[in-house]
């Protein structure tokens, strides 16, 4: 089994937490939302999305329950927990520092 | 996440596994249907939409495996496989398996046996004179053979037995000490006056209870434990004769009990013995009922030359007499006499603070 490297994995977690910070969503909607906001630049594959969701749920940062989706069919909706909200803030701060640092290097040299 | 939390989640997931698998299937199916719907909306035929969706989603089995991995289930799957492999290997080599098992069993058994003997005989002997004459006396019933007994029964045991020098009663209780600065919650013991002669323990300061102080309607007297004496009274011998207010009742302090004596339940508890009160002044109606559950414990000293079997036979007669006299409460109450040093029950008897860990479980 191949594991995505840390940067990619951490970034996907951040994206999921960020998307869920607005409202609970099911897996499909999370993937679509990331795709839409990134102007189709980011395509989240099912193969990385669901393992990430399960991992985040196990960490206690998101929780899931089954509700009716917009089409009327039951879907598993994920929502952010209090711990998840704190985690999101931490991840955002980390991301801002990291991207700023990378930008500095890329632009200067 | 800490590994303990992870293990707990994984363990829980194991038992909810069928549900987790069903949910995982349903969730991935939902995702697939959404993708198909989107493809159809983009103008594909139903069949082409489905094929394209399946293609874009990749291997479902692989996704599920990764999700299980996220939950820690994979670790358990592999552990189970390893265990089965171990079992098969051992069955294939029975001689080796048997040798290994017997070697381990003998090793563990011998260690346990030797340690038990050393621990009991050398490390934690009973700290009272002539311990080979000290016994614990229990009530028996259909519920167990080491029960406490009601106080009226204890009084009859004392009156009717022929084989004990002293048969002493005790029970733990809690008390609030007031009137001397900061109030304090204490654990204390109610004891019969003859407990001290049964164990041959003397007061460090002052004296122990007289039999005439061990009954209702007399001025209440109290002894304090060495621990409390040091902690609250700075070893002041002038404590003798002073008043002590416990649960709002005023007692007169007559002596200090050395910490070598500690009455406690075994099983890891370590109740202090801060105060000692005569059990005979306790007037709780339930305590005075013969048929009550009975939380009074009994310690006794055999008369010289009396064997355990003789004492047991003697007490069987006493139990029978009481069963005849009080069939309502005593029909199925028997007596169990055992050497204090052999009594590794959860209910403790006389234990020293110094030797507490083992003497608690040994008495």
Does residue B147 carry a pLDDT above 50?
yes
B70 close contact with A: CB closer than 8 A: yes
| Domain of residue A94, CATH code | 1.10.10.10
Query: What residue in B sits closest to A3 (Cα-Cα)?
Result: B66
Q: What tens digit of pLDDT does each residue of A2-54 get?
A: 334 444 556 899 999 999 998 999 999 999 999 899 888 888 888 889 989 98
In a domain? residue A2: no
Query: Cβ–Cβ of B66/A47 closer than 8 Å?
Result: yes
Residue B211's pLDDT is what? Answer: 94
B72 close contact with A: CB closer than 8 A: yes
> What residues of chain B lie within 8 A of the CB of A69, using their CB?
30
Does residue B161 carry a pLDDT above 70?
yes
For residues B133 and B158, give the distance between their C-alpha atoms in angstroms, rounded to a whole number: 17
* C-beta of residue B31 within 8 angstroms of C-beta of residue A46: yes
Tell me which residue range forms the domain holding A68.
7-108
Does residue B357 carry a pLDDT above 50?
no
Strands, E, within chain B: which ranges?
A: 134-141, 144-147, 164-178, 184-191, 205-206, 221-225, 243-246, 249-257, 262-263, 275-278, 297-302, 334-339, 350-351
Query: What residue in B sits closest to A58 (Cα-Cα)?
Result: B71
- Asked which of B3-12, B188-197, B250-259 is least confident by mean pLDDT, the reply is B3-12
In a domain? residue A1: no
**pTM of the complete model:** 0.52
Question: What would the mean pLDDT of B128-138 be, rounded to a whole number?
Answer: 90
Does residue A93 carry a pLDDT above 90?
yes
Res. B293 pLDDT band, cuts 50 70 90: low
Identify the residue among B20, B66, B78 best suited for mutation to test binding to A, counting A beta carbons within 10 A and taking the highest: B66
Q: What tens digit of pLDDT does each residue of B41-80 get?
A: 888 888 898 888 888 777 788 888 888 877 777 777 788 8
Does residue B252 carry a pLDDT above 80?
yes
Closest-CA distance of chain A to residue B21, Å: 12
Closest-CA distance of chain A to residue B66, Å: 6
Q: What tens digit of pLDDT does each residue of B323-349 get?
A: 999 999 999 899 999 998 776 543 344
Residues 32-91 of A with CB under 8 A from B: 45-47, 50-52, 54-55, 58-60, 66, 69, 71, 73-76
Closest-CA distance of chain B to residue A107, Å: 36
In a domain? residue A12: yes
Residue B348's pLDDT is what? Answer: 40
Does residue A94 carry a pLDDT above 50?
yes
Q: Which of the pair, B202 or B146, is modelled with greater confidence? A: B202
**Number of domains comprising chain A:** 1
Domain boundary assignment for chain B: 3-92, 131-362
> What residues of chain A lie within 8 A of the CB of B1, using their CB?
58-60
């Amino acid at each position: 089994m191949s594991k995505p490297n840390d940067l990619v994995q951490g970034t996907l977690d951040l994206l999921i937490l960020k998307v869920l910070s607005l409202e609970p969503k099911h897996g499909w909607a999370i993937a679509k939302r990331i795709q839409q906001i990134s102007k189709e630049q980011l395509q989240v594959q099912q193969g990385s999305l669901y393992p990430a969701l399960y991992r985040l749920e196990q960490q206690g940062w998101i929780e899931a329950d089954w509700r009716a989706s917009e089409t009327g069919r039951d879907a598993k909706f994920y929502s952010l927990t209090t711990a998840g909200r704190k985690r999101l803030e931490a991840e955002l701060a980390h991301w801002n520092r990291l991207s700023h640092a990378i930008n500095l290097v890329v632009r200067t040299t | 996440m800490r590994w303990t939390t992870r293990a707990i989640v994984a363990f829980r997931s194991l038992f909810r596994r069928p549900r987790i698998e069903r949910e995982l299937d349903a969730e991935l199916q939902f995702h697939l249907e959404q993708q198909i719907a989107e493809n159809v909306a983009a103008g594909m035929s139903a069949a082409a939409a489905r094929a394209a969706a399946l293609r874009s989603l990749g291997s479902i089995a692989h996704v599920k495996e990764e999700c299980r991995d996220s939950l820690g289930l994979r670790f358990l799957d592999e552990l189970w496989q390893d265990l089965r492999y171990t079992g098969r290997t051992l069955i294939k080599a029975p001689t080796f398996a048997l040798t290994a098992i017997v070697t381990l069993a003998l090793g563990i058994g011998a260690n346990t046996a030797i340690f038990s003997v050393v621990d009991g005989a050398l490390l934690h002997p009973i700290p009272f004179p002539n311990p080979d004459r000290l016994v614990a006396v229990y009530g028996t019933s259909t519920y167990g053979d080491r029960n406490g007994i009601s106080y009226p029964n204890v009084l009859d045991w004392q009156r009717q037995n022929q084989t004990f020098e002293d048969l002493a009663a005790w029970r733990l209780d809690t008390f609030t000490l007031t009137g001397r600065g900061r109030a304090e919650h204490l654990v204390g013991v109610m004891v019969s006056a003859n407990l001290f002669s049964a164990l041959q323990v003397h007061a460090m300061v002052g004296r122990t209870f007289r039999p005439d102080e061990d009954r209702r309607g007399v001025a209440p007297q109290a002894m304090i434990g060495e621990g409390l004496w040091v902690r609250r009274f700075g070893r002041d011998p002038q404590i003798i004769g002073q008043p002590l207010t416990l649960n709002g009742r005023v007692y007169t302090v007559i002596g200090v009990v050395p910490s070598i004596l500690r009455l406690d339940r075994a099983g890891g508890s370590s109740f202090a013995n801060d105060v000692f009160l005569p059990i005979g002044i306790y007037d709780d109606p339930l305590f005075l009922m013969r048929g009550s559950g009975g939380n009074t414990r009994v310690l006794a000293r055999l008369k010289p030359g009396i064997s355990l079997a003789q004492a047991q036979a003697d007490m069987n007669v006493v139990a029978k007499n009481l069963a005849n006299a009080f069939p309502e409460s005593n029909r199925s109450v028997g007596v169990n006499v055992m050497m204090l040093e052999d009594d590794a029950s959860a209910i403790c008897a006389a234990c020293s603070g110094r030797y507490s860990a083992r003497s608690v479980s040994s008495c």
